[in-house]
Structures are given as C-alpha cells and as structure tokens.
Structure 1
Amino acid sequence: MNRFTLPTHRRTRPMRARLGAATLALATAATLAACGGNGGGGGAGSASADGTLTIAFDADAAPTGYDPLLYSARQFEFFASLYDALFVTQTDGSVEPSLVTEFTSNPENTQTTLTLREGVTFTDGSPLDAELVKANLDRRSDAHLEAYSSFGAGQASEIVDVTAQDPQTVVITWASPQASPDVLLADTAGVIVGPEAVADPTSLETTPDGSGAYVLDEDATTRASTYTVVKNEDAWAADDWAWDTIEYNVITDPQALANAVVSGQADIATQLDPTTIDLVQSRQSTVDVGGTIVGFPVIDKLGSSNPAFGNEAARQALLYATDRESLVADLHDGSRPTSQFFPEDAPGFDPALDEEFGYDPDRARELLAEAGYPDGFEVDYTVLGQPDEDAIAIQSQWAEVGITLNFVTATSTDQVFAAVRTDPVIFGPFSVGSSPAGFVAGVLYGGFMNMQGATEPDIESSLGAALGATGDAQEQALTDLNRAITEHAWFIPVYEDVTYAGYNAGSVSEPAFAGTNNFLVLSAIQPAA
C-alpha cells in the first residue's frame, strides 16, 4: 500500500520542526506542554490488558475546542471517535457512506440527493435527520470553519442550497458540476455535529456533541495533555470499534514521542519525526505513507507586497532555481524530490513535470531577465526563532541565480500568522492526499493560499473539469490541473514527504492510513492476535 518503505537502518540528518505560517495554522499546539516518555524496552502495551487503546499524538488534538469543522482532515484521526461523517475514507483509499446509506446525482452532477441512516442519535438523545444535516451545511458561510473552505460562496465546490426534502432525505445543489460529492463530503468535511452545537457553536469549545462510538470522559481529560474517550454502547456504530476506551496523549517533543511507543507507554505513536525512525524500528514496528508535499505556496500572486511575484516568469524562476535532488539527498533520505503539487500515488500525477521543471539555474536566469529582474530580486520569509535547514539550503540555492531569501525573525506567533498575508511565500508540509482536486479547491485556489483572490483561467477551467467529470475525462482534467499549477508557479514544490506511525505489534494489529491521506483509520485497528 505504501510507496515509501525504508530499510531498518536508514540515516537522516536532524530535521527541525517547520514553522511556516501554514504549519502553525494546522497545528497551533506546537507550543503546548508535552508528555514525557522513557526509553525502556518494548512492552505489551495496555490494549490487551484492559481494552484501552493508547495513542500518542505529536500535537494537541483539539487546540481550539471540539468543533471538528475548525480543523483540517488530519484531525479526523481524533474526531472520528466522537463524531460520524456523511462519508468516510477507508484504508484502501475508497470513500464509503457512513451517516448516508445511499446517494444519487442528477445527470448534470449539479444536485446530490442523500438518504440518511436511521437510528442515529446524538449525545443529547436527538436523532439524525435531514434538518440537522441542512443546519450543519448551512454553517458553510463561516470563514473560520476550515473543513468547509471549499463550500463557501465563490469557491470551486460551492454549495448554493441545501434542502431537507423529508426527514431522511437531503438535497444538495452545487454551483458547478461535482462528479464526486462523496469525496467532498468525506471525513472532517462531512462531520455532522448535534443540534445543541448547531444552535450554539460556542458550546463546542468545551463539550463535544456527536453521534460517534465514543463520548468524552471529562474527568480523565486534561486539555492539551490527555484526551480520554469511552465506548457508548448505544451508538449505532459501536460494534465497529474494538476498544472500550481510547486515550490520546499529546507529546510534542519528537524524541519523547518515539520513546512513548518504544517503551510501551503508547500502543501507537503518529506523525513520528524521521530522525527517530531507526529507534522505533529497533524495538517496535512502523507504517508509512506518502502524499504530503513540502514546498512554498505563492501567496502574493498579484505582486501586492512584492512586485516580482506578480510576474509569472519570476515565479517560474523559483521552480528552476531549486535543487531538490541535493536537498533531499542531504536532509531527507527516503523522501522524493518533486516539481509538482500532486503526490506520486494521486490521479493526475505526471512524471514528465519533474523532468520539465527540474533544477536548471540557467533557465532560472533567463526567466529572471525576461521578467525584468536580470540581477534577481529579494524575498522576505518570516521565521519563528532560527530558520530550519531546508530554508537555509534553499536560501543558498536561490542565491546562485540572484534571488535573495531574507529571513525575518518574528517575535511572536501572532507575527508568524500575520505573515500569511504579508509574505510573498510561506513554507511547510501540506497533506494533499489522494484527492488533490479537493485540496486545490478548498485550500490552494479557494482557501488561505489564495486570500488575495487571484485568478488563473487554466487552473480554474481544469479544476472545474476535474470536479465535474468522471473516468478518463477526470483523469485528463486532473493531469491538466497539475500542469497548470506548475506552469503558472502557484506552488513551488520541493519534496514529497513521508508520514510515519509506530506501533506495538504485541498489543495492536498493524494500523493503516486512510489511503494516501496522512491520518490513520482508527476504527480498523484491532487488538493483536
């Protein structure tokens, strides 16, 4: 299943945490307290002993509360235990109905009819019905809801109307054809919160309101440290989960996170730092998946803060000035150098792009001259503390063609967040996953990577075709979309990264990621035989 399988004795240079503004936006708890772990021998873990699955996370699972719609898909690994979604991604990457039993689309793919599952209740005893689903989706106008970023007005997957046709039937009308509505409504984006939470979303800051197989044990939960959920035997999907209790521990220190699974303190540790994989593999087992693209989203495509970035040739020069092969060889053994936004296992991936837009400093200089910057230009990039090794390496590479990367030291995390609007580029890992068109619609074209509202006809037309077509036509549209993003230099890719999870094979079965998404399907994890 996984493209990247590393040998047991691999070596990488130490890698500091990437603190680009986008990274902070997706994991605001990087500064919260960590739970320690020691480096003792591997133990049997807690799973077989008392029906408790213990998972160590690298960041706070709920830094701003229990509204799952505030977060990206990555957080579904946690919220799937408390909430159900209309559709969910399986371990093979397929999307299956969950709160929905069946769905149909009209011939134009502009209207989707959902039939809801009966017998689903929320923590307050209220049943799932069409009015509740409508009330949830009608929250799409709230710009703070990350999960709904592609559904808002003017976005690529805009929902223009939601109708409760009868108690178990919901009709969704889209502004443009959507051939894969199940994918759009899967996982975090498809989560349905209960009626009390819809009426007062602020209640979710402290109290979950879901229909999931588990409920929060508030007495055993300490925010930013430990979250404990216990099985709700009356939940409709309770039998699909093996564990009586799941305990999520927040361990932000990479070494302590690895120690937790090595010592048996945790049955599973997710988002392991690559520098700790040798240690974990020496005592326990690991799984990994690709699909995370690390690079520079171009924020200032209009040249508002830096005029050079309003010139497409100048942006393209950054593509050719980046020596991805040497950076990966020096710093990220096991990752894949890439010149494109789509992961290798995603539909629309085009190996020709990696050759066509590979490292070529002479071509970079030609483009700079064509753009009117024969001596190059300067780029300000905000960092919190010291720049990481990736940024330093790229600074040196760009300097060879005359592009000066200046590190602007932030004095607070607020300043780093503000840089999303002022810096011409930001840098970080982005879990594009197996459905890149949805990521483009919700983040790169219609989300925080394009807050200026820049337009590009080639990207817009191919995105619309990718969302509205199926089969060979969709495959071609995705390939065209991937090329358009690269050719117009809306994103400067550097490498495709690997997400690692470690697990104690003595206590749990091998966990699996949700296809090429970088979160595990917890409902599929069983006690070890």
Structure 2
Amino acid sequence: MKPFRTRQPLVVRRPSMMRTGVAVLAAGALTSLAACGGSSGGASASESDTVTIALDADAAPNGYDPLLYAQGQFEFFSGLYDALFVTAPDGTVTPSLVSDFTNNADNTQTTLTLVDGVTFTDGKPLDSAIVKANLDRRSDPDLEAYGSLAPGQASEITDVAAPDPKTVVITWAKPQAAPENNLVDTAGVIVGPDGVADPTSLETTPDGSGPYTLDTDETTRASSYTFEKSDDARNADDWAYDTITFKVIVDPQARANAVVSGQADVAGILDPGTIDLVESRQKTVSQGGTIVGFYFLDKTGATNPAFGNEKARQAIGYAIDREKLVSDLHEGSRATAQFFPEDAAGFDPALDEEYGYDPAKAKALLAEAGLPDGFEFGVTVLGQPTEDQVAVQAQLAEVGITMDFVTATSTDQLFAAVQTDPVLFNPFAPGAQPAGFVAGVLYGGFLNTQGAKEPEIEAALGGALGATGDAQEQALTDLNTALTANAWVAPAYEDFTYFGYNADEVAAPSFAGTNNYFVLSSIKPAS
C-alpha cells in the first residue's frame, strides 16, 4: 500500500537540483501569494484560457537553456521547447520532433526522420543540421542534460550525421538497450539556431519550438513566469490553455494556501505539514521513488581527505539509523540503504539488510580507514537545517563523525557548495529505470564533477544500458549493489512527492511515467 503521509524536502529537480533536479534547494522571491490565508474564498486563478502553477523553487535559475538542467526540469521547459522524444503519462517514450526512427541490428546506430512544419522562436525551421548542432554540444560539461551522452559516458555518442535536411544518424560508442530513451525529454530538447550559435542569449531569451513563448513583460525572474501559446505552433491544439503562469512560492505554507484559496490551480511540491490542509479543500496526487539521503560529491578526497577513503564513506552509511528516522519523522516512508526505489528493476531487499544500521561496524570501518577518532565535515544549508539533517547529525556523532552546518548567505553560495561540500543530503528521484539517472547525474553528471571512476560501477552501468531482458535485470542489480558497496550514496529512506490541485478547475495532473515530475501538456480543465 502506498504511504499516505510523508515529509518531502523542498528541492529543485535540477542541480532540481535541480544542478537539477538539484538537487540543491533553489531560492525564489515569494510572491504576493505568500500572504494568502487558508480560506477557500477568493477569485480562482484559472479562467477558461489560463492555468496557474505554484512551484516550490525557481525553475530557471541559470536562464532558459534547458540543457543546463536535469530531466525533471522538462516539467517547466516543455512549454517552451520540444524534444526528439518525450515521456508520456503511461511511461512510454514517444516521438515528438521525430516522425520515424530505426535502430540497426546491434543498437549502435539510430536513424531519425524529423517531422515537418516546426519553427523556432527565432523563426528558423527545424532541420537535421540544427539537431546535429545541438548534439554536438554534448562535450560541454556545463550542459547537465548531456551528462550521459558526453565522451566517456555510458551512452556516449561518437558521431552525429545529417545526410539530408530531414535525416539524422546517431552513432553510439557501444550498444544501447533502447537508444531512443537516451534522447527523451530534457536530453532530447532541440534549441533553435540562434540559441545554439550564441548560448549566452538563452540567459534572457528562450529559443525553442514549443507551443508557447515567454511573455517577458509579464515575467519576473525567480518570481513568476508567463507563457503565451502560439496558435500557429505545430502542436498547439494538444495544449489546453492559452496562458500558463508559473509562480515561485518557496514558503510551503504559502504554496499550500495558494492552491487552497484558488490562487493557484496546481501546487508542488507539497510539504507534509500542509497535505491535510490541501486535502480538506482540494485534491492531491502523489508519486513514490524519491530517495533521500547522502550523495557523496567528493570521492577523491579533494575537498575533505576522509571522503577519499571508501571505508569512511561506508561508515556514514552504517551510522544512519534509518528505521528511527522514519518512525520519528516520516511515518509511511520506507527505510532504505540502497539507491534504487522499491518498484525499480534491480531493487534488492538484501542490500537493506547487508548495509543497514550498524554503529559498531561504522566504528570499525573508521579505525580501518585510519580515523579511529572519526572526522569532521561541513554541509551548506540555506537558513536552518532540516529535521532530517539534525537527526542524522546526532546519529553520526554517536560513532565519532561530526557534521557541521554552514549557513549560506546567498543562493549563489548554496549552488557553489556543490563544488565544495563533500556531500549533499537531498532527495533525488532516479525513476523506475535508474540506469539513465546514474549515467546522466550520479556517475556522468553534476554529482560526480570530480570525474571519479569506479570500474565495478562502470561495468554494471554499461551492462544495464546495453543489455535487454534477464541480462539487463542482472546488470541493474549489479549496478545497485556497486553503488551501495562502493559508498557512492548512503540513502536513508524512500519518500513520496505530493502535488495539490484545484479539482474544480483542472483535472488531476499526470506524472511522466514513474518519474516524480508531471507532464505539463496533461494539465486540462476539469470536466
């Protein structure tokens, strides 16, 4: 049975994040909605042609280049940009800018045929040359979306050819289980020619082929974003609203009040303390698969020598009393010591036993690491640390590990901490097929900016991405085991994401398959 109440930390689903995600907490200005009360009175935010969505964090903190962000940001950017393939609500990968595609016998080459009638904000048409120009940016380390496609990564592209204006031929470094899955949502976004030629222009001006354009007059960065539908867009009829407005409401109570009062039609992510309020007046939808815990950024000892020792990282995992954390703070969540969600292929319940709470083992590992007195490290927080962080701080102290909280004085400092802190304690949602997340974020993306290598992880990841059937299942299990055994992560619990919505105005939003972000085009007026 799905848990009914959980606590969901506020995160941007980029590195949410959120660079998501992501997953670093992003800041945004509170709008006037922060003053909304719990009353159900007040005018509705949704007229027949407008939908208003309250976000828990700024969706575009680094501008409007969607390739700077992780997969979950497609929830926002899909209105402005289209992608080669997109995730449908039922979880299937569906062609969007592609009318047809084929893979060769060993899945090392994919041929795409592009759809007709697509133009970008800059007025130029979609053709194979601009698809090639986009994918040829894959070696840029700043482009989070291309983490798994970059040289040396698990889904590496070695060549992109454009033999004619409508045909793109992509060559993969090694066989891929389902090559089209590498080009879905954010990873498959195609930026227009002007944006590719001058990426700095995307800091202020999107250049996409989506059904909406950004209304700059009605947009205030980090506060509110307004999209206006282009009636001549290829797929305009597939989107229900003429206007989509995103409101950044960081304060969880204000965000809940917004959907309760009718000032917003959809609100996410809900804080657990506000779920009852929302459900007393409106409706909620939820999605599992969010893994909360430590993600080790420093696996080489570059920022803190202790973290270069695998045994020291393992000690952190054994020191976490996950069952107590869940019983005290997260009734209904699932304690876990592994990165793969319970419903994901490759999940192994034995890992939760083998790598569960064992403070004596944690102390023994510290001694083996040459740290019999433990060690100290810092974690950057914006404002006050979460209840989770405070609880885990006390648990680590019991085995001699000191976790200090460093208060960020600006959001820039918070984002910069991804480069300087040895760990993040955050939620991430790897989805039902976690190999892609591992390839693009955990191993080949912003959670491994040091470029740390682990042959066991790399071999299992290659198998998971390149195999099918039983062989892929085993490779996924091996990958999950390798991540846990080599202490690239130290999860604490699996949580659930809640969104609120005004059922009088909109139908229930649909998630993108098993991912914890919704399909923007699925938001429709209530019937």
TM range (shorter): over 0.9
Indicate the residue corresponding to 2:293 in structure 1.
Answer: 295
Indicate the residue corresponding to 1:120 in structure 2.
Answer: 118
CA gap 1:188/1:263 in 2 versus in 1, 3 angstroms: same
Indicate the residue corresponding to 2:520 in structure 1.
Answer: 522
Indicate the residue corresponding to 1:183 in structure 2.
Answer: 181
Instruction: Tell me how far apart the structure 2 counterparts of residues 421 and 522 of structure 1 sit (CA, whole Å).
Output: 32
After TM superposition, give the deviation of residue 42 of structure 1 in Å: 5.9
Indicate the residue corresponding to 1:38 in structure 2.
Answer: 37
Indicate the residue corresponding to 2:263 in structure 1.
Answer: 265
Which deviations, in whole Å up to 9, do the C-alpha atoms of 1:77-96 show, x marking residues without a partner? 11111111111111122211
Could you list the runs of 5+ residues in structure 2 that have no partner in the other structure?
Answer: none
Which deviations, in whole Å up to 9, do the C-alpha atoms of 1:328-363 show, x marking residues without a partner? 221223322111111122221112211221112222
Indicate the residue corresponding to 2:253 in structure 1.
Answer: 255
Indicate the residue corresponding to 1:340 in structure 2.
Answer: 338
Aligned partner letter, 2:249: I
CA gap 1:119/1:444 in 2 versus in 1, 3 angstroms: same
Report matched runs for 1:478-493 at 5 Å: 478-493=476-491
After TM superposition, give the deviation of residue 163 of structure 1 in Å: 0.5
Aligned partner letter, 1:373: L
CA gap 1:513/1:35 in 2 versus in 1, 3 angstroms: farther
Residue 424 of structure 2 aligns to a residue in which SS?
coil
Indicate the residue corresponding to 1:370 in structure 2.
Answer: 368
Q: Report if the CA contact (8 A) 2:325-2:391 is conserved.
A: yes
- Give the counterpart of 2:101 among 100, 103, 106: 103
Which deviations, in whole Å up to 9, do the C-alpha atoms of 1:273-330 show, x marking residues without a partner? 1211111011000001012211111122223343332322222222111111111221
Indicate the residue corresponding to 1:165 in structure 2.
Answer: 163
Q: Report if the CA contact (8 A) 2:286-2:497 is conserved.
A: yes
Which deviations, in whole Å up to 9, do the C-alpha atoms of 1:71-117 show, x marking residues without a partner? 22222111111111111111122211111122222223221111111
CA gap 1:430/1:486 in 2 versus in 1, 3 angstroms: same
Structure 2 residue 512 is matched with structure 1 residue 501: no
Indicate the residue corresponding to 2:70 in structure 1.
Answer: 72
Indicate the residue corresponding to 1:396 in structure 2.
Answer: 394
Indicate the residue corresponding to 1:439 in structure 2.
Answer: 437
Residue 101 of structure 1 aligns to a residue in which SS?
strand
CA gap 1:157/1:245 in 2 versus in 1, 3 angstroms: same
Identify the range of structure 1 (108-117 vs 458-467) with the bigger mean alpha-carbon deviation.
Answer: 108-117
Which deviations, in whole Å up to 9, do the C-alpha atoms of 1:202-244 show, x marking residues without a partner? 2222222221122222333232222222222221111111112
Instruction: Tell me how far apart the structure 2 counterparts of residues 304 and 227 of structure 1 sit (CA, whole Å).
Output: 39
CA gap 1:111/1:319 in 2 versus in 1, 3 angstroms: same
- Give the counterpart of 1:405 among 398, 403, 406: 403
Q: Report if the CA contact (8 A) 2:132-2:168 is conserved.
A: yes
Structure 2 residue 60 is matched with structure 1 residue 62: yes
Indicate the residue corresponding to 2:197 in structure 1.
Answer: 199
Instruction: Tell me how far apart the structure 1 counterparts of residues 350 and 28 of structure 2 sit (CA, whole Å).
Output: 41
Q: Report if the CA contact (8 A) 2:227-2:243 is conserved.
A: yes
After TM superposition, give the deviation of residue 407 of structure 1 in Å: 2.9
Instruction: Tell me how far apart the structure 2 counterparts of residues 73 and 21 of structure 1 sit (CA, whole Å).
Output: 7
The total of aligned residue pairs comes to: 521
Report matched runs for 1:82-161 at 5 Å: 82-161=80-159
CA gap 1:243/1:495 in 2 versus in 1, 3 angstroms: same
After TM superposition, give the deviation of residue 413 of structure 1 in Å: 4.1
Instruction: Tell me how far apart the structure 2 counterparts of residues 209 and 186 of structure 1 sit (CA, whole Å).
Output: 19
Identify the range of structure 1 (366-375 vs 209-218) with the bigger mean alpha-carbon deviation.
Answer: 366-375
After TM superposition, give the deviation of residue 125 of structure 1 in Å: 3.2
Indicate the residue corresponding to 1:428 in structure 2.
Answer: 426
CA gap 1:310/1:351 in 2 versus in 1, 3 angstroms: same
Instruction: Tell me how far apart the structure 1 counterparts of residues 141 and 355 of structure 2 sit (CA, whole Å).
Output: 35
Instruction: Tell me how far apart the structure 2 counterparts of residues 524 and 85 of structure 1 sit (CA, whole Å).
Output: 16
Aligned partner letter, 2:438: V
After TM superposition, give the deviation of residue 491 of structure 1 in Å: 0.7
Q: Report if the CA contact (8 A) 1:58-1:253 is conserved.
A: yes
Indicate the residue corresponding to 1:245 in structure 2.
Answer: 243
After TM superposition, give the deviation of residue 397 of structure 1 in Å: 0.9
CA gap 1:415/1:84 in 2 versus in 1, 3 angstroms: closer
Could you list the runs of 5+ residues in structure 1 that have no partner in the other structure?
Answer: none
| CA RMSD across the alignment | 2.3
Q: Report if the CA contact (8 A) 1:164-1:171 is conserved.
A: yes
Q: Report if the CA contact (8 A) 1:294-1:429 is conserved.
A: yes
Aligned partner letter, 2:195: A
Instruction: Tell me how far apart the structure 1 counterparts of residues 53 and 11 of structure 2 sit (CA, whole Å).
Output: 23
Instruction: Tell me how far apart the structure 2 counterparts of residues 19 and 220 of structure 1 sit (CA, whole Å).
Output: 23
CA gap 1:135/1:489 in 2 versus in 1, 3 angstroms: same
Instruction: Tell me how far apart the structure 2 counterparts of residues 399 and 5 of structure 1 sit (CA, whole Å).
Output: 30
Report matched runs for 1:311-350 at 5 Å: 311-350=309-348
Instruction: Tell me how far apart the structure 2 counterparts of residues 359 and 512 of structure 1 sit (CA, whole Å).
Output: 36
Instruction: Tell me how far apart the structure 2 counterparts of residues 416 and 284 of structure 1 sit (CA, whole Å).
Output: 34
Q: Report if the CA contact (8 A) 1:35-1:249 is conserved.
A: no
After TM superposition, give the deviation of residue 269 of structure 1 in Å: 0.8
Residue 85 of structure 1 aligns to a residue in which SS?
coil
Instruction: Tell me how far apart the structure 2 counterparts of residues 220 and 4 of structure 1 sit (CA, whole Å).
Output: 40
Q: Report if the CA contact (8 A) 2:375-2:400 is conserved.
A: yes
CA gap 1:43/1:343 in 2 versus in 1, 3 angstroms: farther
Q: Report if the CA contact (8 A) 2:294-2:491 is conserved.
A: yes
Q: Report if the CA contact (8 A) 1:44-1:506 is conserved.
A: no
Which deviations, in whole Å up to 9, do the C-alpha atoms of 1:468-489 show, x marking residues without a partner? 1122211111111001100111
Identify the range of structure 1 (36-45 vs 219-228) with the bigger mean alpha-carbon deviation.
Answer: 36-45
Aligned partner letter, 1:72: A
Instruction: Tell me how far apart the structure 1 counterparts of residues 412 and 244 of structure 2 sit (CA, whole Å).
Output: 34
Residue 140 of structure 1 aligns to a residue in which SS?
coil
CA gap 1:511/1:5 in 2 versus in 1, 3 angstroms: farther
Aligned partner letter, 1:184: N
Instruction: Tell me how far apart the structure 2 counterparts of residues 18 and 97 of structure 1 sit (CA, whole Å).
Output: 29
Aligned partner letter, 1:329: S
After TM superposition, give the deviation of residue 409 of structure 1 in Å: 4.0
Indicate the residue corresponding to 1:282 in structure 2.
Answer: 280
Which deviations, in whole Å up to 9, do the C-alpha atoms of 1:30-81 show, x marking residues without a partner? 143434233221678344x432111111122222222111122222111111
Identify the range of structure 1 (304-313 vs 433-442) with the bigger mean alpha-carbon deviation.
Answer: 304-313
Which stretches of structure 1, 4 residues or longer, exceed 6 Å deviation after superposition?
A: 18-21
Instruction: Tell me how far apart the structure 2 counterparts of residues 440 and 113 of structure 1 sit (CA, whole Å).
Output: 25
Aligned partner letter, 1:255: Q
After TM superposition, give the deviation of residue 498 of structure 1 in Å: 1.4
Instruction: Tell me how far apart the structure 1 counterparts of residues 11 and 120 of structure 2 sit (CA, whole Å).
Output: 38
- Scaled by the length of structure 1, the TM-score of the pair is 0.92
Instruction: Tell me how far apart the structure 2 counterparts of residues 398 and 83 of structure 1 sit (CA, whole Å).
Output: 44
Identify the range of structure 1 (54-63 vs 478-487) with the bigger mean alpha-carbon deviation.
Answer: 54-63
